[in-house]
Amino acid sequence: MAAFVHPVIGTIVVLYSVWIMREGLVARQRSKRSHKARRTHKRWAWYALWGMGLAVLTGMLSTIGLRDDIELGETWHLALGWGLLGLMALAALLTRYFTHDARLRRIHPWIGIAAVVGGIAQAIVGIELLP
């Protein structure tokens, strides 16, 4: 049962990230809902970043402590997880500078989209690693 903690956390984080991404994209549109979506995205996106960190950590711990059949870093799943965490962290850091540089405001959503799409791919490919 403990071996499924990481996949469950990862799945929740990916689904949550899709919701956060959708709110961010709605916030960029000029609609009645954009102001609320912007507030929601800004308030809740940090939890996606922390959730991704938790998913990486639980994945490493479950590999070390529960999986005798694979070694830590044996597959590219770990490296991709760290890369996606890095993308999400970069997107979060860029938000601190939005008011000063419009270029950062334009690339932020692309970094977020890449992180979410990568997370979906990571979850799908991770299915083959289930015990």
What is residue 77's predicted lDDT score, i.e. its pLDDT? 93
Residue ranges of domains in the chain: 2-129
**pTM to 2 decimal places:** 0.90
Both tokens of 5, joined, read: 């903690």
pLDDT in tens, 28-84: 998 999 999 999 999 999 999 999 999 999 999 999 999 999 999 898 999 999 999
**Which residues fall within 8 angstroms of residue 18, CB to CB, at 6 or more apart?**
116, 120
- Yes or no: say if 89 and 49 are a contact pair by the CB < 8 Å rule: yes
What is residue 105's predicted lDDT score, i.e. its pLDDT? 82
- Within the chain, strands assigned E span none
Handedness of CA 124, 70, 79, 12 (dihedral sign): positive
Q: What are the b/e assignments for 73-91, b being 16+ CB within 10 Å?
A: eeeebeebbeebbebbeeb
Average pLDDT, the chain: 92
